[in-house]
Each structure stands twice: as structure tokens, then as C-alpha cells.
Amino acid sequence: MAIEQTRSFSRAAELRFVTQSALSRRVKSLEDWVGVELVDRATYPVELTSAGRRFCEQSKESVGALTEVRSALRQEARMPGRSIQITAGHTLSLTFLPKWLKQFHQRSGDFNARVVAANVHDAVIALAESNCDLMIGYHHPLVPMQLDEDKFASLTLGQEAFIPVSAPNGRGAPMFALPGSSASPLPYLAYTATTFMGRVVDVILNSVDTAYHFRACYETDMAMLLMKMVVEGYGVAWLPFSAVSEEIDAGRLVRAGGDEWSAQLEIRSYRAIANTNPTMQDLWKSLEDSVNRGA
């Protein structure tokens, strides 16, 4: 259905929040299951075959029926009273969201919230597929979200620094200080390559003029796990300031480099423009008012 809409494998992959190669594999698996070719790969722009058009029309009816059932079931499963469902990044769900929810309870009155922590990829899918009313995540202008601005609105809730940190040595200096050297490369605790924060680190490293020397020794997609590894002295990692502020105040972590090794991240909220949940609409109006007042 996405290929029919866009007539492009690459654009369809963006709409479905998967890589183009993953989408191609899924289409091939579907064709193997149906037993005929559904996409004419010899045309440009891409077109469906006659069998593909028939299959797509029937698929729309099936997806529409399933979507209606899903909507009814979700409505039954919603928390009672005024309620919203929020999907937030793992780090923000621990550092930002509790205080933010308390603030807006005070401004908007009581409402119930169901919060799911997820990585950026899963959070975007949850919003795009109406699995949540509100998504809260980080934003960087060079690592944009693939969300259609005609369908989704966003507001900036705040900013925070994204900084390199290390455990301190006996003198209070970083045990592993950037940029390292060829003779003594820094043990680097990295995000997996496809994560949002991993791509932000790439942006930082591509922007500095100084040569750096790393040896990758650990990789994960969770910032809080990297923070624990840094505290234990395994190496240097980039982390949102909110995730490490207590550790820095306690002297268990120190910055491993100056401002040139850091970036500013926006904290943004996202919603579907078509969302009709009255609690969501009230909260969004309150958010807009706060942003306009500079609160």
C-alpha cells in the first residue's frame, strides 16, 4: 500500500520507518506467499502489476476492518477518565518525563497517563500507527525525524547538552580525555550505528577539527546502560546531561572534553494532527501556551 501511494521503494520505506532493503525483502516475501509478482520493478516510477493492484485493493479493505477493530479494543483498554498514552525515549522517561508530568498536572488538572519507554525507532512507529497520543523524544537538526509535517505537529519543550564523559582519575581529571592518541587510543563506549544518539555522535565527530583516536570496546542502544559502564571506568561515552548530572555532582563522572565535543539536543513533543482525544487536545493547548510564554 505504501508503494502504491508513493510509487517509490525509498519513499515507501521512509513512510514505514524501515530501510529500503528491509522493505524489499518484505515485498519479496509477500510475493512468495501470494505466488505472483505484485510490483513491476522494470518501471520508473514503480508501479504495481495487475495482480498487485487487485491484491492492494483487497488489502485496503482488510486493513481498514482490522484498524476499526483495533480502535474499538484500544478504546476499551484505555485508562479511565481523562487519560493520555505517552511513548518516550528511554532516557527521557527516567529523567525528564516525571517532572514534566507533575508540572502539567498542576497546570491542567488531574489526568491519567500510560507511559511506554522505547527507542526512537519504535517511538516513531508507535506515533505513526496511533499507538500513543503523544511522543516525547530528542531532536537534532542534522538527524531529523522522518515524520510528515502535514500529519504530525511538534513543540520544543526544552534543551539539554549531549556531552562526552569519563570516570575521574585519582586527581579528579578524566581517566579518558579526548581526543586520545595513536599510541593510547581511548576505549570508546558506543551507541549502535542505527540509533539516534549514535548518529548525533557521528555529527559531532565529523564537525571537530582535531584528530581523535578510539578503540571501540562496547556497544548498546541504551544511554543509561552506557552511563553505568562509564561510571565503572570502562571508557568514554556521550550522554545527555540529565542522565549524568547527579553522577557529575557526586564526582563519579567528569566531562571528557570541551564544548567542541558536545552538542545541544532539543526535547520535543509530537502528536498526530488528527488526534481527537480531548485530554490530548487540552494538554497540547497547555503546551502551546507554555511555549508561547517562554515557560
Assess whether 211 and 68 both reside in one domain: no
Same domain, 185 and 261: yes
Domain end (from 77, 105, 130):
77
Three-state DSSP state, 41? coil
* DSSP H/E element including 40: strand 39-40
Predicted local distance difference test score (pLDDT) of residue 188: 97
Do 73 and 128 lie in a common domain? no
Same-domain pairing of 146 and 187: no
Output the pLDDT for position 148. 82
- For residue 149, the one-letter residue type is E
CA distance 282 to 203: 37
* pLDDT tens readout for residues 245-283: 999 999 999 999 999 999 999 999 999 998 888 888 888
Comparing 45 with 229, the larger pLDDT belongs to 229
- Of 28, 50, 77, which residue is a domain's last? 77
Mean pLDDT check: name the lowest of 74-78, 178-182, 274-278.
74-78
- The predicted model gives 42-63 an average pLDDT of 90
Q: Which three cell numbers stand for residue 232?
A: 565503572
Residue 167 has pLDDT above 60, yes or no: yes
Q: What is the CATH number of the domain that holds 219?
A: 3.40.190.10
Helices assigned H by DSSP within the chain: 2-6, 9-15, 20-34, 50-77, 90-95, 97-108, 120-128, 196-207, 223-231, 241-249, 278-293
Shared domain check, 151 and 7: no
Residues 172 and 153 in one domain: no
> Residue 295 has what pLDDT?
53
pLDDT for 245 equals 95
The CATH number linked to 58 is 1.10.10.10
Q: Are residue 271 and residue 236 in the same domain, yes or no?
A: no
pTM of the model: 0.73
Distance between CA atoms of 243 and 13, rounded to whole angstroms? 33
Check whether residue 197 and residue 256 sit in a common domain: yes
47 and 186 share one domain: no
Termini Cα distance of the chain:
43
Rg, C-alpha atoms of the chain: 23
Residue 138 CB: number of other CB atoms within 10 A? 23
Kindly provide the b/e burial profile for residues 164-184, where b requires at least 16 CB atoms within 10 angstroms of the residue's own CB: bbbbbeeeeebbbbbbbeeee
Q: Which of 14-23, 218-227, 275-284 has the lowest mean pLDDT?
A: 14-23
Residue 154 has a pLDDT of 93
**Residue 80 — pLDDT band, cuts 50, 70, 90?**
low
- Clarify whether residues 272 and 136 are in a common domain: yes
**What residue type is 110 in one-letter code?**
D
Are both 171 and 186 inside the same structural domain? yes
Amino acid at 118: A
pLDDT of 42: 83
What are the CA-CA distances from residue 249 to residues 206, 228, 275 (Å)?
A: 30, 15, 41
pLDDT of residue 244: 96
Please give the tally of structural domains in the chain: 3
Higher-confidence position of 211 and 67: 211
Residue of 175, 138, 130 whose CA lies nearest to 154: 138
Residue 73 has pLDDT above 70, yes or no: no
Domain residues for 142?
83-158+267-293
Which of 34-38, 121-125, 154-158 is predicted least confidently?
121-125
Last residue of a domain, one of 61, 77, 93: 77
CA distance 187 to 93: 28
Query: Which of the 8 DSSP states describes residue 217?
Result: E
Give the pLDDT score at 74. 62
Average pLDDT, rounded, for the chain: 88
Place of cell 480531548: 278
Whether 75 shows a pLDDT value over 70: the answer reads no
| Alpha carbon 126 to chain centroid, angstroms | 10
Q: Round to whole Å and give the CA distance between 176 and 168.
A: 8
Categorize the per-residue pLDDT at 153 as very low, low, confident or very high, splitting at 50, 70 and 90: very high
Q: Do 232 and 260 lie in a common domain? A: yes
94: cell is 527516567
